[in-house]
Amino acid sequence: MIAIVKAAELFTRREEEAVSPKQERAVQEILSRVKREGDTAVRELTARLDGVELAQFQVKESEIDAAVATISPGAKEALALAARRIRSYHERQKSNSWIEAEEDGTVLGQLVRPLARVGLYVPGGRAAYPSTVLMTAIPASVAGTEEVVMVTPPGPDGEVPAITLAAAREAGVTRVFKMGGAQAVAALAYGTESIPQVDKIVGPGNIYVALAKRMVYGQVDIDAIAGPSEIVVIADENADPVYIAADLLSQAEHDPMASAVLLTPSASLAEGVTNELQRQCEALPRAEIAAASLLNHGALCITRDLAEAIELANRLAPEHLELMVEDPWLWVGQIKNAGALFLGPWSPEAVGDYLAGPNHVLPTNGTARFFSALSVDDFSKKTSLISYSQRALLRDGPGVITLAEAEGLQGHAASIRARIEKEE
Amino acid sequence: MIAIVKAAELFTRREEEAVSPKQERAVQEILSRVKREGDTAVRELTARLDGVELAQFQVKESEIDAAVATISPGAKEALALAARRIRSYHERQKSNSWIEAEEDGTVLGQLVRPLARVGLYVPGGRAAYPSTVLMTAIPASVAGTEEVVMVTPPGPDGEVPAITLAAAREAGVTRVFKMGGAQAVAALAYGTESIPQVDKIVGPGNIYVALAKRMVYGQVDIDAIAGPSEIVVIADENADPVYIAADLLSQAEHDPMASAVLLTPSASLAEGVTNELQRQCEALPRAEIAAASLLNHGALCITRDLAEAIELANRLAPEHLELMVEDPWLWVGQIKNAGALFLGPWSPEAVGDYLAGPNHVLPTNGTARFFSALSVDDFSKKTSLISYSQRALLRDGPGVITLAEAEGLQGHAASIRARIEKEE
């Protein structure tokens, strides 16, 4: 069910879901209809695509109250714990505005301010993703964003799952709208009668959502388009095959395109993990998905030593990287590329997916080489501040003139000269 | 030459340069040729598109030495001053890695590391842009990026302007390659025999460069695609029309698509600025470009008061915003959206373009609502750290299981249960 491969075979990049011209045209059409017709278009598209007739999109506060009341105490507690830990981690990410005041009267600085209004896309339909709500809404709320608007497709009954609404309440979402697909992205990007235009849209979705986000980019900001998800586990001979197999399966059960890879210098560990994968996979409700993922995108690779395992992991630049080795902190400095790093046997990926604190929206498919987890920064913008004094301008002006003239921009030079000449 | 307009007329979004399907196909073709054939393709494309036959692309250290020796002392000094100030400003932007160690043994954190290798695109051909070199290379160097590779199209003589090479030396660029257009972007994104694959490509270019960057996005990271550039000046009745006109012209001379807007409650100031624009524009070598920009995208708008001017500026979200008013610091808290803010009469935009310190690569065309200036962050990536203790996992595990089960992900729950059960 999983292949033992050589190092070189690890580097076949998974192709992203192919987009057909027909899908592109369909999304383009939805975007322009919603831009032109607003709510009317969203209402018709929701009836046609989600099979639900909605009189109004916004979920009322009283509906959220009612939903929260149906949640079990255990679930309520788990949401609160997760929200608390996620909030506490993201509070550490906040940047302050700063200034530097120089003796000559010059003041330079950087203002850091929250985006005013953001839109969260939370997948729905038949499943509920409360963790996506927490992981996208809390960084926005910590950044200070005043309006955090959430859209999620209604289920066949026209409702949003109670636990999704409870998560929205817990995370400080300001308004929830029942809409999904490209039409929801369009509504957030352009605004309609009932939904306000936002500055940024974040959150995962299907191919139509991803296409729509890509097309409205520039009109609003978006987060990185998520590709198939992956885990790499680096383990030494003393690691527990039971834990490793369980963690690989927790990745593989997401999606047949997900990838789970073990890198270890120990052939006997690899064998133990293979056996455990077989045993544990059978017990999973999503065994079929997990097995397809392991078969097509899973791999066990026996490395010369741990150093080679680290080197391979750096080249793979995985979304999740577990270090199941003795003294994992010894190796942290050698890990160059990973979205999130899990150290030791008590840090399974699942704890990071739900409630350790760090964000679970992570760079996928090798992009950890240059992308990072969703963070408070993603909901902040910066403005540079320049307040020159007369003295400083007279001193630095000649340098500006020299450089502007070197670039053939005499108007730039003239704007400095106008000030210098006036003073002479 | 510039229209006095009503507030509502300010909000016509300038269209981006239209892309023809023919241009798209041409760029696609260039990308796949360079990916397949490497240097051979780049060499042929450089001969065909830049009209230059090159034996090798990399500019030798001795050529850079020779170029630096030809630079006037004044230019050398101006470059050094600009580099020093830009470096000093960007040093303030650096983020540290951090950890939070909890009493139960849990350690959470965030590693901040530089991108390993970045590519700078510097326009060339008939003009030189040393300021682009400084503004893109220095943040990378401050972030700690080890390899800062620069590409720039050779001039008709096959050379790169001496001042561009001097700027590269000053800014810590590690290698300079003579190549431009989509072929240079492809070489950076895929790597060839002579040019290494990078993690991110930044810097402005023509429509072919912009298209190529968009197409390789995901394979590597890119910076935001720059649109037409703009300035908004907010001024009160005591502001100097000579300075304001000079600053508007310094923007307008860039490009017929550039936009220069004055917002003022004072009709007499607006009249003074109109007269000054006429007078000063005539004296500029690029008068034709500036006049076209002012005619098509320039505007003077008489507002009710300063508060309305600020409100309009926030809606415009300009790249550059000058506050030529008494006590400009009083208004800073009301400015929500601006790439860079210039305070008072001694802070013309040109000083920020070249050497005040903040970056001149700024969000354009209203995107300051959600984008920020190029910064050290753009050359850094973050890895989340999660090191749970056994005690913490046993405590938080049940919460993870509850949330995983709510999402139908039993494999996630099982990875926690495997650990809890073993301990019981």
Does the annotation count B311 as an active-site position? no
| Cα A16 versus chain centre, distance | 17
Question: Is B82 strand, coil or helix?
Answer: helix
Our CA-based measurement puts residue A263 at a distance from the nearest CA of chain B, in whole angstroms, of: 19
Question: Is A300 strand, coil or helix?
Answer: strand
CA-to-CA distance for A404 and B43, rounded, in angstroms?
A: 32
Q: Which of A404, A388, A355 has the alpha carbon at shortest distance from A84? A: A355
pLDDT value of position B14 = 65
Confidence of residue A13 (pLDDT cuts 50, 70, 90): low
List the single residue in A with minimal CA-CA distance to B118.
Answer: A370
Query: Which residues, in sequence order, are CB contacts of A42 under 8 Å at separation 6+?
Result: A34, A57, A179, A183, A184, A186, A187, A192, A195
CA-to-CA distance for B343 and A74, rounded, in angstroms?
A: 55
Judged by CB atoms closer than 8 Å, whether chains meet at B384 and A373 is answered as: yes
Our CA-based measurement puts residue A424 at a distance from the nearest CA of chain B, in whole angstroms, of: 15
Question: Is B52 strand, coil or helix?
Answer: coil
Question: Is A393 strand, coil or helix?
Answer: helix
pLDDT score of A69 more than 80: yes
Q: What is the dihedral of CA B212, B218, B224, B226, to 10 degrees?
A: 10
Confidence of residue A23 (pLDDT cuts 50, 70, 90): very high
pLDDT value of position B17 = 62
Dihedral sign computed on CA atoms, order A196, A197, A203, A209: positive
User: Nearest by CB to A375, which of B240, B246, B382?
Assistant: B382
What is the gyration radius of the CA atoms in chain A, in angstroms? 26
Maximum CA pair distance of chain A?
87
Average pLDDT over all residues of chain A: 95
Locus of tokens 């403005």 = A383
pLDDT value of position A422 = 79
Sheet holding B320-324, edge to edge: A98-101, A107-114, A380-387, B340-343, B320-324, B230-235, B259-264, B299-302, B3-4
User: Nearest by CB to A284, which of B367, B407, B410?
Assistant: B410
pLDDT above 70: percentage of residues in chain A = 98
Judged by CB atoms closer than 8 Å, whether chains meet at B77 and A399 is answered as: yes
| A378 contacts A144 by C-beta, under 8 angstroms | no
Tokens of A370: 């240059």
> Is residue B28 exposed (0-12), middle (13-18) or buried (19+ Cβ within 10 Å)?
middle
DSSP A131-190: HHHHHHHHHHHHHT-SEEEEEE---TTS---HHHHHHHHHHT--EEEE--HHHHHHHHHH
Domains of chain A with bracketed CATH: 24-222 (3.40.50.1980), 227-369 (3.40.50.1980), 388-423 (no CATH)
HSE-CB for A412 with a 13 A CA cutoff: 24
Locus of tokens 């308004």 = A175
List the single residue in A with minimal CA-CA distance to B99.
Answer: A92
For A86-104, the pLDDT digits (tens) are: 999 999 999 999 999 999 9
> Is residue B195 exposed (0-12), middle (13-18) or buried (19+ Cβ within 10 Å)?
buried
Partner residues linked to A200 by β-bridges: A118, A221
pLDDT value of position A16 = 61
CA-to-CA distance for A374 and A143, rounded, in angstroms?
A: 12
| B145 contacts B115 by C-beta, under 8 angstroms | yes
pLDDT score of A14 more than 80: no
Tokens of B68: 């630096």
> Is residue B141 exposed (0-12), middle (13-18) or buried (19+ Cβ within 10 Å)?
buried
pLDDT score of A173 more than 80: yes
Selecting among B230, B319, B322, B349, the annotated active-site residue is B319
List the single residue in B with minimal CA-CA distance to A341.
Answer: B385
Q: Choosing among B198, B385, B394, which should be mutated to test the A contact, i.e. which has the most A CBs within 10 A?
A: B385
Tokens of A138: 């809390």
pLDDT value of position A307 = 97
pLDDT (average), residues A123-133: 88
For A309-327, the pLDDT digits (tens) are: 999 999 999 999 999 999 9
Amino acid at A343: L
Q: Which of B122, B135, B260 has the alpha carbon at shortest distance from B178? A: B122
Question: Is B151 strand, coil or helix?
Answer: strand
Q: Choosing among A70, A402, A405, A416, which should be mutated to test the B contact, i.e. which has the most B CBs within 10 A?
A: A402
pLDDT value of position B119 = 98
Q: What is the dihedral of CA B256, B259, B264, B267, to 10 degrees?
A: 20
CA-to-CA distance for B402 and A280, rounded, in angstroms?
A: 20
Separation of first and last alpha carbons in chain A: 83
Query: Which residues, in sequence order, are CB contacts of A369 under 8 Å at separation 6+?
Result: A317, A337, B115, B116, B199, B381
Q: What is the dihedral of CA B347, B349, B355, B359, to 10 degrees?
A: 120
DSSP B291-313: HHHHHHH-EEEE-SSHHHHHHHH
Judged by CB atoms closer than 8 Å, whether chains meet at A370 and B220 is answered as: yes
Judged by CB atoms closer than 8 Å, whether chains meet at A350 and B416 is answered as: yes
Listed in sequence order, the DSSP H helices in A283-381 are 287-297, 306-316, 329-332, 349-354
pLDDT value of position A1 = 78
CA-to-CA distance for B416 and A347, rounded, in angstroms?
A: 9
Own/partner long-range contacts of B35-40 (Cβ < 8 Å, ≥24 apart) = B35/B186, B35/B190, B38/B187, B38/B192, B38/B193, B39/B192, B39/B193, B39/B194, B39/B195
Tokens of A287: 């065994």
Each of the 424 residues of chain B gets a pLDDT tens digit; together they read 788 888 888 887 566 667 888 999 999 999 999 999 999 999 999 999 999 999 899 999 999 999 999 999 999 999 999 999 999 999 999 999 999 999 999 999 999 999 999 999 999 877 889 999 999 999 999 999 999 999 999 998 999 999 999 999 999 999 999 999 999 999 999 999 999 999 999 999 999 999 999 999 989 999 987 778 899 999 999 999 999 999 999 999 999 999 999 999 999 999 999 999 999 999 999 999 999 999 999 999 999 999 999 999 999 999 999 999 999 999 999 999 999 999 999 999 999 999 999 999 999 989 999 999 999 999 999 999 999 999 999 999 999 999 999 999 999 999 999 999 876 6
Judged by CB atoms closer than 8 Å, whether chains meet at A372 and B356 is answered as: no
For A247-264, the pLDDT digits (tens) are: 999 999 999 999 999 999
pLDDT value of position A17 = 62
Partner residues linked to B231 by β-bridges: B260, B320
Is residue A254 annotated as involved in ligand binding? yes
Confidence of residue A6 (pLDDT cuts 50, 70, 90): confident
pLDDT value of position B19 = 81
Residues of B in contact with A356 (CB under 8 A): 106, 108, 386, 388, 396
pLDDT value of position B16 = 61
Judged by CB atoms closer than 8 Å, whether chains meet at B351 and A411 is answered as: no
> Is residue B421 exposed (0-12), middle (13-18) or buried (19+ Cβ within 10 Å)?
exposed
Our CA-based measurement puts residue A311 at a distance from the nearest CA of chain B, in whole angstroms, of: 14
What beta strand segments (E) does B224-286 contain?
230-235, 259-264
pLDDT score of A416 more than 70: yes
Query: What interface predicted TM-score (ipTM) does this complex get?
Result: 0.95
Our CA-based measurement puts residue B278 at a distance from the nearest CA of chain A, in whole angstroms, of: 13
Query: Which residues, in sequence order, are CB contacts of A62 under 8 Å at separation 6+?
Result: none
Amino acid at A246: A
CA-to-CA distance for A163 and A64, rounded, in angstroms?
A: 10
| Cα A201 versus chain centre, distance | 11
Helix (H) or strand (E) segment spanning residue B400: helix B390-406
Is residue A121 annotated as involved in ligand binding? yes
The strand pair at A3-4 and A200-202 is best described as: unpaired
pLDDT value of position B200 = 98
Judged by CB atoms closer than 8 Å, whether chains meet at A82 and B403 is answered as: yes
Does the annotation count B320 as an active-site position? yes
Tokens of B169: 């030396």
pLDDT (average), residues A5-24: 79
Listed in sequence order, the DSSP H helices in A283-407 are 287-297, 306-316, 329-332, 349-354, 390-406
